[in-house]
Structure 1
Amino acid sequence: MHRRPDVVQLIENALSPIVGAVNGVLWNYVLVGVLPLVGIWFSLRLGVVQLRRFPQMLRNLRRGTEDDAAGISPMQSLCTSLASRVGTGNLVGVAIALGVGGPGAIFWMWLVAFLGMATAYAESALAQLYKRRDAAGHYRGGPAFYMAHGLRAPWLGAIFSVCLVLAFGLVFSAVQANSISEAVSEAWGIDAAWTAIVLVLLSAPVIFGGLRRVARMAELVVPAMACGYLLLAGWVVLTHLAEVPAMLALIVRSAFGLDQAAGGMLGGLAVALLNGVKRGLFSNEAGMGSAPNIAASATPVPHHPASQGLIQAFGVFVDTLLVCTATALMILLSGVLPAGGDGAVLTQQAMAVHFGGWGPAFVAVVLSLFAITSILGNYAYAESAVLFLRGGRTGLFLLRLGCLTMVAWGAIARLDIVWATADAAMGLMATVNLVAVVLLSGVVIKLTRDYDRKLRAGDASPRLDATDFPELGDAIDRSIWTAGKTAAAVRRGG
């Protein structure tokens, strides 16, 4: 067990009461009800788009950008958002949810993810619609942009951007580093200070390379990483197939307080629900306003905001309904839950049961890869927020330094204070974003109907025509949304 420097302990002692008060209001009274309600609202108003357009999600995954190089490809946008989503929330967050909320927390994670797919679709479609070009001609956008242009409330966009920089640029990077530190300490006994140094050295070159370098790395690393982990989890499930129905039944019973003796449950339904919603939001980020920042940087193929919305909805499916479920089943099937460790250690103990002595080391390696790509994905979101705040090169430099500093702090800080701080940061961010998304729900509904109408008419590649949305006026960049032409062709006068 490493000893934390005195200054770190002083910071933790100062943060603890503030963070506790914020979380008490947001999670006990606001988000635990608002998040599912917003998901239900969009699911109903959009005709359960997450189910009926699921095949379209797969068809929209393209590696190219046609002839519009102002944005990254749909595949790069998905991989970059998954780089942030698929990380410690899947391995450590699931373990924490099980340890505190019992198996029932996983059911609420599933529900939050299913409903969140509709919310993720809505926020990412809006981010696409209201995006702009930056000084280099690249697409930028996200919640701050649809607040500033869609709601005509730039002040709200500024508040959101500050929340995003605090959450993703700083706090969440500390969470990823903390999880890596715990895992490598458990596997090899490496001191946290060395972990902090290595993480900073690995992250710095990519972070200082900017968004496009992050996107290129994510496209290479994330698919292989996620597929390898799922294959391993699939092997565990197949070799314990007869026990899987009982585990799924346990999850459902515990979710409604019908099996109080299960796992580490400390209060039945309320505790399972609260921890499932919190850990589910941290993992899939639906409604938080993070993924729309990278969604706006993409050139959608086909060239319609709804197509990029579907891509990000698919990201929620991969994150929670595939990767988180895989982790939960591996832990439950191992039998280590009632007396297991905390966070990453619990996942490592489960892997040791399934795969022997190399199991904890494997988790440490996979978790490190997941968490490093999450740090990079988190930075990509924060970069867009700094540019919205007109921070310029100085702002980006300070963000990069701040991100690396938080990586170092997270590696040596206590698990509980790091995760509590993350809960407070994402709660503030989600609250601001959900207000904006609901206020703009009419635009989302019209976008979806336009996309559906063109698909039903036999158009395999529906494009948005800005002339069909005269009420938006100059709130959108109409040169981007010209039917029959890409934005690049419009700029060339083609």
Structure 2
Amino acid sequence: MQQLADAIGAFNDDLFWPLVILALALSSLYFSVRLGLVQFRLIPDMFRALGGSASPAGADGSRSISSFQAFCVSAAARVGTGNVAGVATAISVGGPGAVVWMWIMALLVGAASFVESTLAQLYKVPYRDGYRGGPAYYMLHGLGRRWMGVVFAITITVTFGFVFNAVQSNTISTTLVGSAAEFGADTDGMTWLPAVIGLGLVVLTGAVIFGGIQRIARVAQALVPLMALLYLILGVAVVALNIDKVPGVLALIFSHAFGLREIAAAGLGTAIIQGVRRGMFSNEAGLGSAPNAGATASVSHPVKQGLVQTFGVYFDTVIVCSITAFIILVSNPTYGEDLGATMTQDALGASLGGWAVHALTVIIFLLAFTSVLGNYYYGESNIGFLNSSERLLTAYKWVFLVATFLGSIGSIQLVWTLADTTMGFMALVNLAAIVPLAGIAGKLLKDYTDQRRQGLDPVFTSDRVPGLRNVQCWAPEPVPSKTSDA
């Protein structure tokens, strides 16, 4: 089993993921040029759109999901243990310079995030208490390729709905057991503890997911800002206590990213690959996952949610991942030894004391639990695309909960390695869809900016862009017929 995991890991590292990274970078560069660097020039509009309220009614007359709630659902999946463990691994393996390449890639792939989430909004469909959509839906309605949507829907459901869910629940279990050991508990003799944690997690998760997207959105809206604030406070405390080291840390980051010594030692390539890859894992731009959440929002123009999801990339990588990087680098870490969350925990303990390790345990729990909820919804949206049967959806919920429990008690190295492969495949399928649909995203962007120049709050209807087909949620308001008094 270990040999199989090693073989798949080598395939991912040496061949497959460099191809995925190249495809995403080239596609994002194409989107950036075609859309006039939308990810930079409309940053003020991102904040404006983020504060927009939901329309009064969803598809069934109930209150819809707001733009901010949809942002929180996608951030719940985006902002996960990768922000703590993934950044640490990138620095440990690729050196401090990996941070710069993480930033650069985030700024570039913001354009891909804009395109995929704008298209998800355009091609969303009515569903019970609001809307649903995502890559599978724009593959069907935008490209007319249902088979492509089916392939994507199956891949994302397996990758996020089952595998990544098990990874997150395993992280929660491992972290809580480790924290109990720090408090002096004899965890070696408590073999039942992971199972108890798993059962508790199943109960919490079930209470949320059986309440539908409305409950998921409310929980995400409450927890995502909380966990980000807690982590930000820890990061600011570390920086404040080590303020004299900050100039040196910045110099270290940029010198290792572009230094002649790194080029001569072939270390630059490792820094680039690690920074770009871990950044992709963290912000998910272009992978086709976040648009499933973005499609649920009720907004007046598809571009608004595209801008909100682009801000999500910056929030994840430029803010949250940077906090982790500074926590680690001010502690003068030893590279190549500790990997993952252990490196971050050690750095926090060195700066703030042992209590900070337990504080990070709480934050990791929030990160992982919200990721479980976000991952669940990605699967639900795509199960609905495959078949609208309520029985199938209910079966998916129970299998999801089983995966949650199994993840908390087992070792999942092989499935995690396989998930690397399926996630990369998912990204390639999504890119194959959004590249030919970029022209439509460009027309929507032009309509949005034209209305903004006129001082209007942009409102979209499908007749504003000639030639659109299979758009189900943006019909023009019917013109009232005149009645005669005779």
Match of 1:480 among 468, 471, 474: 474
- Aligned equivalents of 1:62 and 1:481: distance in 2? 24
- Aligned equivalents of 2:233 and 2:12: distance in 1? 39
Match of 2:351 in 1: 354
- Aligned equivalents of 1:95 and 1:446: distance in 2? 40
C-alpha contact (below 8 Å) 1:182/1:344 kept by paired residues:
no
Match of 1:291 in 2: 290
C-alpha contact (below 8 Å) 1:74/1:299 kept by paired residues:
yes
Distance 1:181 1:344, change over 3 A: farther
1:43 aligns with 2:24: no
SS at match of 1:133: strand
Match of 1:75 among 68, 87, 96: 68
Aligned pairs (5 A) from 1:154-303: 154-189=146-181, 190=187, 191-256=193-258, 258=260, 260=262, 268-300=267-299, 303=300
Distance 1:60 1:88, change over 3 A: same
1:147 aligns with 2:139: yes
Amino acid at match of 2:360: V
Aligned pairs (5 A) from 1:126-137: 126-134=119-127, 136=128
1:464 aligns with 2:460: yes
CA RMSD in angstroms comes to 2.4
Residue identity over aligned pairs, in percent, reads 43
How much does 1:249 deviate?
2.3
Match of 1:56 in 2: 45
Moved more, 195-204 or 171-180: 195-204
Distance 1:148 1:91, change over 3 A: same
C-alpha contact (below 8 Å) 1:291/1:312 kept by paired residues:
yes
Match of 2:362 in 1: 365
Distance 1:228 1:420, change over 3 A: same
Normalised by the length of structure 2, the TM-score is 0.90
Moved more, 409-418 or 203-212: 409-418
C-alpha contact (below 8 Å) 1:237/1:244 kept by paired residues:
yes
- Aligned equivalents of 1:350 and 1:19: distance in 2? 28
How much does 1:340 deviate?
4.9
C-alpha contact (below 8 Å) 1:174/1:418 kept by paired residues:
no
How much does 1:411 deviate?
3.0
- Aligned equivalents of 2:102 and 2:357: distance in 1? 25
- Aligned equivalents of 1:392 and 1:36: distance in 2? 38
How much does 1:271 deviate?
2.0
**Structure 1: gaps spanning 5 or more residues:** 1-9
CA offsets 1:360-404 (integer angstroms, 9 cap, x no match): 111111001110011001111111000000152232223223322
Count of residue correspondences: 466
Amino acid at match of 2:452: L
C-alpha contact (below 8 Å) 1:104/1:272 kept by paired residues:
yes
C-alpha contact (below 8 Å) 2:461/2:475 kept by paired residues:
yes
Match of 1:342 among 322, 329, 339: 339
1:84 aligns with 2:77: yes
Distance 1:55 1:161, change over 3 A: same
Match of 1:107 among 94, 100, 107: 100
Match of 1:383 in 2: 380
- Aligned equivalents of 2:344 and 2:304: distance in 1? 36
- Aligned equivalents of 1:16 and 1:463: distance in 2? 52
How much does 1:238 deviate?
2.5
- Aligned equivalents of 1:258 and 1:77: distance in 2? 44
- Aligned equivalents of 2:31 and 2:322: distance in 1? 24
Distance 1:387 1:415, change over 3 A: closer
**Structure 2: gaps spanning 5 or more residues:** 182-186, 188-192, 481-486
SS at match of 2:282: helix
C-alpha contact (below 8 Å) 2:195/2:408 kept by paired residues:
yes
- Aligned equivalents of 1:366 and 1:171: distance in 2? 22
- Aligned equivalents of 2:475 and 2:329: distance in 1? 49
How much does 1:206 deviate?
1.2
Aligned pairs (5 A) from 1:357-436: 357-390=354-387, 392-414=389-411, 416-417=413-414, 419-436=416-433
